[in-house]
Amino acid sequence: MSGSEKYPTLGLGKVSREVLARSVFPYLPLADTPRLDGGVLRCQGEVVVAHSPSIGLPLESLGFFAFHYAASNVAARFARPKHLVTGLYLPVGSEVRDLEIIAGGLGDEARRYGVTVVAGQTATYVGIEAPFVTATCLGESVRTPVDPAPGDAIYVIGEVGGEAAWLKGLSMGVAGDEWKGFTPLPILLRLQGVDGVTLMHDISEGGVKRALLEVTEALGVRLDVATDDVRLAEGVLSLEEDPLRLPTYGAMIALAGSGAREGVEEACGELGVPCSMVGVIEAGEGLIVDGEAVTRLDRVDLDWLYGSFSDKR
């Protein structure tokens, strides 16, 4: 049987119920039998909601990142991811097999963390040039953190620049699977149980410096950090870019009161995640990184690699 016979191509618009039943639903941990228009779920207490797209990546990784982008943002707000609403969108003429790869990756991660898919859409449209996935994650709040305050420790958790090194390798035809470890979700969930952790924020576009700048802008505080002890991923220095500005999904920033420092470091040790205390919150405003003020950040050249290999497997 030829590939085209085994995996037919998709026509325009929403996929048929038959395709959904054969090539999407079996791969997803569905909350209930899908019906028309939307799903229904019961919510109690506070619900944290986060949304994110995943685009410009190899098919095998699209579902993984779509899930983790959204679920990690929910976990960073001290909530347990519980439900997912997702959209799978492909160019007209894509193979059904492409759909199965994306749905399979998404479903594997959702099952791993006990998250059910409650609603979504799967379709092809004119104008879509590369497959992309949207994910809206809903989670149940587990506790309300106290506000960060001067004196709280600032941590960079995880290896820095791994995502950038992977992207560079892909652009050179080196297809690695390092991306399977690019998620902060396990340590985010673990740190939810450490009393005194006051803020968690994942590192993504713009790297460590962007994440720290977002923290200063959101809280109106001053961060003066020294990054000598931050763990860099293998191959990062060879990229000849500022490591602290490189794409670094999988790492995170955490703020913790003085009484929580031991708990943060123990949690990271349990999971084998590098953990570097880089400073403390100070009175005032602004970001100082290794003695230099950071007020604005341009994107690095590596960011433009996204999408350049989205159709390669």
> What sign does the dihedral 288-245-180-61 (CA atoms) show?
positive
> Residues for the chain: how many in total?
313
Give the model's pLDDT for residue 120.
92
**Residue 237 phi, psi dihedral angles, 5° rounding:** -65, -30
Q: Which 3 state secondary structure label does DSSP give 90?
A: strand
**Residue 199 phi, psi dihedral angles, 5° rounding:** -160, 145
One digit per residue, pLDDT tens: the chain, 313 residues?
344 457 788 887 778 878 888 888 888 888 777 766 566 677 777 899 999 999 888 899 999 999 999 999 999 999 999 999 999 999 999 999 999 999 999 999 999 999 999 999 999 999 999 999 999 999 999 988 888 999 999 999 999 999 989 888 887 777 678 899 999 999 999 999 999 999 999 998 889 999 999 999 999 999 999 999 999 999 999 988 899 999 899 999 999 998 999 999 999 999 999 999 999 999 899 999 999 999 887 776 666 555 545 444 4
| Tokens encoding 105 | 């990756």
Residues 6 or more apart whose CB falls under 8 angstroms from that of 173 comprise none
- CATH H-level superfamily of 3-141: PurM-like, N-terminal domain (3.30.1330.10)
Task: Name 251's bridge partners.
Answer: 249
Give the model's pLDDT for residue 313.
42
How much is the pTM?
0.89
Give the model's pLDDT for residue 193.
94
Q: What is the location of CATH 3.30.1330.10 in the chain?
A: 3-141
Q: Which of 142, 156, 151 is nearest to 259 (CA)?
A: 151
CA–CA separation, 162 and 246 (whole Å): 9
Q: What is the location of CATH 3.90.650.10 in the chain?
A: 153-303
CATH architecture of the domain formed by 153-303 = Alpha-Beta Complex (3.90)
